[in-house]
Amino acid sequence: MPEINETKLREQIAKSQMASLYFLYGDEKFLVKRDLLRMTKKLSATDFPEFNFNEFPHDAAIDDIADAVESLPFMAERKCVTVSDLNVEALGSAELNKLHELIENVPNTTTLIFFLPTLEIDTKKSAKWRNFIKKVDAVGYSVCYARRSDSDLEKFLCREAEKNGCTLSRSLANKILRYTGNDLNALTNEILKLCAFAGGGEITNEQIERIVTKNMETTVFLLSNALVRGDYAKAYALLDLLINQGEKPITILSVLSGAYIDMYRVRAAIQSGKTSLAPAEYGDYKGRDFRLKYAERDMRDLSLEMLRESLQLLLECDLSLKLSTGDTMDRIALEKLFAKLLFAAHRGSVA
- pLDDT at res. 348: 55
Residue 309 makes CB contacts below 8 A (sequence gap 6+) with 344, 348
By the 10 Å C-beta count (0-12 exposed, 13-18 middle, 19+ buried), 344 is classed as buried
> Which CATH number is associated with domain 150-211?
1.10.8.60
Average pLDDT over residues 128-139: 94
State the DSSP code for 59. Answer: T
- pLDDT at res. 297: 85
- pLDDT at res. 288: 72
How would residue 181 be classed by pLDDT, with cut points 50, 70 and 90?
confident
Least confident of 26-30, 41-45, 151-155, 211-215: 41-45
How would residue 350 be classed by pLDDT, with cut points 50, 70 and 90?
very low
For 6-145, CATH number out of 3.40.50.300, 3.50.50.60, 3.40.50.1980, 3.20.20.300 equals: 3.40.50.300
How many CB atoms sit inside 10 A of residue 288's CB?
Answer: 15
CA 81 to each of CA 21, 57, 106: distance values in angstroms, whole numbers, following the listed order: 10, 11, 11
Range(s) of the chain covered by CATH 1.10.8.60: 150-211
Range(s) of the chain covered by CATH 1.20.272.10: 216-347
Cα separation, 345 vs 225, whole angstroms: 11
Average pLDDT over residues 199-204: 92
pLDDT digits (tens, 9 = 90+) for 9-50: 999 999 888 899 999 999 889 999 999 999 998 887 666 667
- pLDDT at res. 287: 64
- pLDDT at res. 351: 41
Q: Give the DSSP letter string of 127-185.
A: HHHHHHHHHHHHHSEEEEEPPPPHHHHHHHHHHHHHHTTEE--HHHHHHHHHHH-S-HH
Look at 216 and 208; give whichever has higher pLDDT: 208
CA 320 to each of CA 98, 111, 337: distance values in angstroms, whole numbers, following the listed order: 56, 58, 11
Q: What percent of the chain has pLDDT over 70?
A: 96
Cα separation, 65 vs 60, whole angstroms: 7
- pLDDT at res. 158: 96
For 216-347, CATH number out of 3.30.450.80, 3.30.365.10, 3.30.460.20, 1.20.272.10 equals: 1.20.272.10
- pLDDT at res. 69: 93
Range(s) of the chain covered by CATH 3.40.50.300: 6-145
- pLDDT at res. 167: 95
Q: What's the whole-number average pLDDT of the chain? A: 89
pTM: 0.68
